Amino acid sequence: MTIPQSNKLTMYEGVLETLNVYNSVWKNTIVISEAVNEFSILLPQIRKTGATKATSTKGITQAKVAKKQEMADRAYKLAGLTSAYASKSNNVALQASLDYSHSDLFQTKDNLAIDHCMVIYNQIRPLVAELKPYGITAAELDALQTTITAFQTLIGQKGQQQSGMKVINQSIETLFQQADNLLKTQLDKLMLRYTDTNREFYDAYFSSRITRHLGGSRKPASVKAA
């Protein structure tokens, strides 16, 4: 949920709280009771959808970063050890092909990081037997390949997640539109009946209809609800 959406939801909850406080004033008015009931059903739906979004984005993102870190660490170690072998063997071409910084393997774009790690893997694979004195084993190289594959899988899951996020975002936007419409076209209008008969309720209701801007960039303290 965005900061503006969160601020608007806080306004919604304030409106509902005000309506509950003045329940005795409007409870016998059927059209208001129906509108308040419909509005009160929307708020937990917005909360639930927002929580689903927050939960689903966090897990895969953390796992992807952790796996990319592991992949970069493994590749950087193997490349460094093999570079020492290349230097001793005067193999300039091999040494150049392994010339990656840790940033090249971790801080670069995901697919480019995979490409770099695969170059390292492919350069080392034929030399495993010769690299034993340098502490490189087939098992370590296989572990790098496994980590690369796992990271690729997480990138795919992240892509699927982003598609799912579009659906969730659309659901949240629809719920906010429904709530806004209910307030602007029904409850705001229905409050006019209390302009003279219960001014305290009328003023309290419209006071609660102000959206406070909390968080994000500085803005005026408040604006009338859209």
Q: How many CB atoms lie within 10 A of CB 74?
A: 22
Strands (E), the chain: 210-212, 222-224
The neighbouring-strand residues paired with 212 are: 222
- Residue 53's pLDDT band, with cuts at 50, 70 and 90, is low
What are the tens digits of pLDDT across the range 199-221? 999 999 999 999 987 665 444 44
Give the residue from 61, 95, 78 showing the smallest Cα distance to 140. 78
The predicted structure's pLDDT at residue 193? 94
Q: What's the rounded mean pLDDT across residues 28-52?
A: 91
Rounded-to-integer distance, Cα 66 and Cα 134, Å: 27
Across-strand partners of 190?
none
Tally the domains of the chain: 1
Domain range enclosing 153: 3-224
Instruction: With CA atoms as reference, report the closest residue to 201 among 220, 211, 187.
Output: 187
* pLDDT at res. 63: 87
Locate 7 and state its tokens: 């601020």
Strand partners, 224: 210
Q: Exposed, middle or buried, 12 (CB in 10 Å: 0-12/13-18/19+)? A: buried
**Which pLDDT belongs to residue 220?**
42
Predicted TM-score (pTM) of this structure: 0.52
